[in-house]
Amino acid sequence: MTTTTITNPILTGMYPDPSWMWDADHGRIAMVNSSFELVPGLPIHTSDDLGRWIHVSDAIDEAMARRLLIPFVEDSGGVYAPTLRRIGGRYVIVCTIARINEEAARRGGVTEEELAAAAKAEGNFAIVADTLEGPWSGPYWIEGAEGIDPDIFEDCDGAVYWTQTRPALDPQWEGQTEIWTQRIDPETWTLINDGQAAGDGRTVIWRGYGVDAVWAEGPHLYRIGDYVYLFTAEGGTSFEHSEMAMRVFAPQGLKAAIETFRADIAEAGVAIPAPREGEHCLLGTHDRLFHANKKNPILTHRHLGLNEPVQCVGHGDILHHPTLGWWMVSLGVRETKGANPGELLSYLGREPFIAPMTWEHNPSSWKLDGGGAPTSDPGDPGWPVVAPGLGRMPERLTILDAGTDIAADDPAVRGMTAVADDRAVRVLIGLNDAGTRAAAARPVLDADREADLTIRDETGIRYARIAEDDTLLSVPDGGTLVIRQNSTHLVTLCHGLGDGRRPAGVTCIFTEDGVDDTRSYGPLPEGCTRVAVLMRRNELTVLAYDGTRDVAGLVEETIRGGEPDGCRVMDRRDARFLSTEWSGGFVGCLAGVPTGTLAVDGETMH
């Protein structure tokens, strides 16, 4: 019997904006995540069972980062929301570079030609490779692109579409956006602008499902059967986040469907105003190309309330595995409760969560005069249902070989719901027995976790993602540890070596909103040789301890309020200034040490 047990999130720490695909040539799933200011960037992981993820490459190395102007982006700038696909036999990632500081770039030697190329594309680019492991070529700036969150889609007729979101040109409410699409030549990476031909030229296709819903974004187009589906996120990447599904009947291709729609509304005498000259719009008051799923949203946690520890779920991407069936990956945020009612705080950034997905039709059409069951149509897959039977991101998942007999009280399946469809395996999903998140998410194996990350081009410190809320981070002997949320919210601890007989003291700088609070603790207490910081439940605890003692046991006693032999609490500090909610931006906390010192000796406590 083969059993795969998975705990969400599948990668821990700051791995936001997941996009994935089935890599048929190698029989594996490939996933990329955005990386903002981090170099190397756009980490790529693969898996053949959804449970074990291997870091195989980073699409952005130091040289690519320079060409993308990442050394000159501001906090929470850099690489936004990639899409990974196979286009024309090559692997393609399309993405956006945001918040470029042009003056800093000029001071750094960036030419006006380089800045102009990025500006004409509004930071949107494509990179390509023959293998996921690279090398990746580019960037190819997409001149005329507008907005963020690009998607690349190859249809059944060979047409390739560039789709993304931009602020609505005539918004009905603050924060409204619109999804536009345009054909693109993947050889030259130029948008096709023949506005006289059906399907060519910039075309607005969606402005959001819900009234007053902000930021319809993260669009992805998929061909499934005779339909082209449009998936979008709505509500911003915050507590109103959600995932929506729309579709258009397009058996001959999206271009033909657009041509038919235009002909139909012209025959009916309907004119849909264009957003601007040279553009098109297929979204009128009464007529629209794409029609929404009446059961939207297909995924959200916003209805679960603020007691739910995983919030902000959305920005999904789907794939079909030949054995494991249909799945969705989306981002989510693990929150920690604050001391105040309704206060939720996040330190890790956005992480990838997965759930099985099925396709369903309503069993009948409810009408006063009946109507009977719908006619079966092999070209109509119906509408997606994410996490069927659970209706939210599962905390744990189990995948079994089809036909496997297993006792209902077996820990691997106890209290779980079976996903009923035609996939070749049994998939069970559920919550943890206690009704809360597991004590430890399944991380990438230590040997595969990315290390030696830098911020922009600041190569003096190498960072790693902080992967759990309850984390012990040791300060290198005689060295420095940095806990960083952004450039104005961080902690810097310096541990001196002293005179060789007794370790010197510790200096700790808490930087909040760019203001430093420096504290010195003097020589370490007798018997203590090491220094660490415990991040736990919105608190930072600076500890001195005997390096020969069992650290886990000492810390657990300290958490319970004691101060056991071999461990001394030197300081406690409110950690909320390191949360995203207090500091702003989109990133999670990192732990770093200066180049040339020992790696951060981190230990996760549960």
364 or 35, higher pLDDT: 35
pLDDT of 366 over the 70 cut:
yes
Residues 415 and 510 in one domain: no
DSSP annotation string for 378-415? TT---EEEESTTT-S--SEEEEEETT----TTSTTTTT
pLDDT at 536 over 80: yes
598: in domain = yes
Q: What is the mean pLDDT of residues 12-41?
A: 97
Q: What's 569's domain CATH number?
A: 2.60.120.200
For 342-364, write each residue's pLDDT tens digit.
899 999 999 999 999 999 998 87
Amino acid 561: pLDDT: 63
Positive or negative: CA dihedral 201, 206, 35, 355 = negative
Whether residues 400 and 505 fall in one domain: no
What pLDDT is attached to residue 296?
A: 96
Q: How far apart are the C-alpha atoms of 184 and 204, rounded to whole Å?
A: 15
Do 207 and 305 fall within a single domain? yes
Give the C-alpha separation, 28 to 17, whole Å.
20
Lowest mean pLDDT among 220-224, 231-235, 454-458: 454-458
Residue 540 placed within a domain? yes
In a domain, residue 130? The reply is yes
Highest mean pLDDT: which of 140-144, 196-200, 530-534? 140-144
| Candidate from 49-53, 276-280, 498-502 with smallest mean pLDDT | 498-502
Residue corresponding to tokens 């619109």: 178
Q: Do 475 and 399 belong to one domain?
A: no
From CA 385, how far away is CA 380, in angstroms rounded?
Answer: 15
| Residue 545 pLDDT class (50, 70, 90 cuts) | confident
Q: What SS3 class is residue 103?
A: helix
Least confident of 207-216, 234-243, 435-444: 435-444
Q: Give the count of domains, the chain.
A: 2
Q: Are residues 401 and 508 in the same domain?
A: no
- Which pTM value belongs to this model? 0.94
Q: Is residue 321 pLDDT above 50, yes or no?
A: yes
Query: How confident is residue 595, by pLDDT bands cut at 50, 70 and 90?
Result: confident
Tell me the pLDDT band of 445, cut-offs 50, 70 and 90. Answer: very low
Residue 243 clears pLDDT 50, i.e. is over it: yes
**What is residue 447's predicted lDDT score, i.e. its pLDDT?**
40
- Residue 521 placed within a domain: yes
**pLDDT category of residue 28 using cuts at 50, 70 and 90:** very high
Per-residue pLDDT tens digits for 292-303: 999 999 999 999
Mean pLDDT of the chain: 89
E strand segments, 250-324: 280-281, 291-292, 299-300, 310-321
What is the structure's pLDDT at 503? 55
Answer whether residue 140 is part of any domain: yes
- Does residue 451 form part of some domain? no
HSE-up (13 A, CA, CB side) for residue 325: 24
Is the model's pLDDT at 365 over the cut of 80?
Answer: no
Before 476, cis peptide (omega within 30)? no
Q: In this model, does residue 435 exceed pLDDT 70?
A: no
**CATH classification at residue 15:** 2.115.10.20
pLDDT at 13: 95
**Mean pLDDT, range 379-392, rounded to an integer:** 95
**Averaged pLDDT, 250-267:** 96
Q: Are residues 410 and 316 in the same domain?
A: yes
Assess if residue 123 is contained within a domain: yes
Domain boundary pick from 430, 453, 479: 430
User: Do 366 and 296 fall into the same domain?
Assistant: yes
Which of these, 582, 595, 429, lies nearest to 512 by C-alpha position? 582
pLDDT of 498? 55
Indicate whether 363 and 504 sit together in one domain: no
pLDDT at 369 exceeding the cut of 90: no
Share of the chain above pLDDT 70, in %: 89
Domain stop point among 430, 461, 489: 430
Task: Give yes or no for residue 496 having a pLDDT over 80.
Answer: no
Instruction: Please give the average per-residue pLDDT across 123-127, as a whole number.
Output: 98
- Cβ–Cβ under 8 Å, residues 350 and 332: yes
pLDDT at 448 over 50: no
pLDDT for 198 equals: 52
Phi and psi torsions of 533, nearest 5°: -120, 130
In this predicted structure, what is the pLDDT of residue 600?
A: 42
Q: Do the Cβ atoms of 595 and 461 come closer than 8 Å?
A: yes
Q: What is the pLDDT of residue 553?
A: 67
Domain span holding position 265: 3-430
Q: Are residues 536 and 414 in the same domain?
A: no
420 and 562 both lie in a single domain: no
Distance CA 258, CA 264 (A): 10
Biggest CA-to-CA distance, the chain: 92
Q: Is the dihedral of CA 106, 109, 111, 114 positive or negative?
A: negative
In terms of domains, do 424 and 481 share one? no
Q: Which residue has the higher pLDDT, 186 or 452?
A: 186
Residue 81: which residues within 8 A CB-CB, separation 6 or more? 17, 19, 34, 95, 96, 148, 149, 150, 217, 218, 315
User: Which of 527, 526, 478, 484 shows the shortest CA–CA distance to 506?
Assistant: 478
User: Mind listing the pLDDT tens digit for each residue in 159-181?
Assistant: 999 999 999 998 999 999 999 99
State pLDDT tens for residues 272-285: 999 999 999 999 99
Instruction: Tell me the CA distances in angstroms from 196 to 202, 264, 275, 280, one per residue in order.
Output: 11, 17, 16, 10
Q: Which of 430, 446, 478 is the last residue of a domain?
A: 430
Q: Is a pLDDT exceeding 60 seen at residue 196?
A: no
Higher pLDDT, 88 or 523: 88
Question: What's the one-letter identity of residue 404?
Answer: T
Is the backbone peptide bond immediately before 322 cis, with ω within 30 degrees of 0?
no
pLDDT of residue 606: 33
Residue 499 CA to residue 552 CA, distance in Å, equals 29
- Are 374 and 506 within one domain? no
Closest CA to 51 of 466, 444, 393: 444
Quote the DSSP letter at residue 264.
H
The predicted pLDDT at position 451 comes to 60
The reply to whether 60 falls in a domain is: yes
